Amino acid sequence: MSGFALHPEAYDDIDEIRAYLAEESPDAADRVVSEIFDCLRRLPQFPHLGFRRPAFVPLPLRFVIVRDYLIAYAPEKDPLWIVAVLHGRRSPRMMAAILKGRE
Q: What is the CATH number of the domain that holds 72?
A: 3.30.2310.20
C-alpha pair distances (Å), 35 with each of 77, 89, 98? 22, 19, 23
Do 65 and 71 contact (CB within 8 A), yes or no?
yes
96 is in which domain, residue-wise? 4-101
pLDDT cut 90: percent of the chain above it: 74
Reported confidence tier of residue 15, pLDDT bands at 50, 70, 90? very high
- Total number of domains in the chain: 1
17-30 pLDDT, tens digit per residue, is: 999 999 999 999 99
Q: Which of 69, 63, 68, 59 is nearest to 47 (CA)?
A: 63
Question: Using N-to-C axis directions, what is the helix angle for 8-24 and 26-42, rounded to 10°?
Answer: 150
Phi/psi of residue 98, nearest 5 degrees: -60, -45
pLDDT, residue 67, reads 96
Distance CA 25, CA 9 (A): 24
Q: What is the pTM of this model?
A: 0.91
